[in-house]
Amino acid sequence: MLKTIIVDDEVKNVKLLTSLLRDYCPQVELIGEAGNIDDAHDIIISSKPDLVFLDIVMPNGTAFDLLNKLMPIEFDVVFVSAHDNFAIKAFKYAALDYLLKPVNILELQSVVQKALQKVSKKIVNDQLTVMLSQFKNNVVLNPNLAIPTIEGLIFFDFNDIIRIEASGAYTIIYSVGRGKVVSSKNIREYELQLPVEYFFRVHNSHIINIRRLIKYDKGRGGLLTMEDGSTVELASRRKAGFLNIFR
Q: What is the pLDDT of residue 93?
A: 42
Domain ranges of the chain: 2-137, 144-244
User: Tell me, what amino acid is at 27?
Assistant: Q
Distance from chain centroid for Cα 213? 21
Burial class (CB in 10 A: 0-12, 13-18, 19+), 219: exposed
Q: What is the pLDDT of residue 139?
A: 44
Domain 144-244 -> CATH class: mainly beta
Q: What is the pLDDT of residue 46?
A: 95
- Which fold does the domain 2-137 belong to in CATH? Rossmann fold (3.40.50)
Q: What is the pLDDT of residue 130?
A: 62
Bridge partners, 226 (sequence order):
213
Give the pLDDT confidence of 101-121 residue by residue, as tens digits: 888 899 899 888 888 877 445
Give the pLDDT confidence of 136-168 residue by residue, as tens digits: 554 444 557 778 877 778 888 888 999 999 998
Q: Give all strands (DSSP E) within the chain, no chain letters.
A: 2-7, 28-34, 51-55, 57-58, 61-62, 76-81, 97-100, 144-148, 153-157, 161-167, 170-175, 179-183, 199-203, 206-209, 213-217, 223-226, 231-233
Q: What is the pLDDT of residue 124?
A: 58
Q: What is the pLDDT of residue 23?
A: 95
In which residue ranges of the chain is pLDDT below 50? 86, 93, 95, 119-120, 122, 138-141
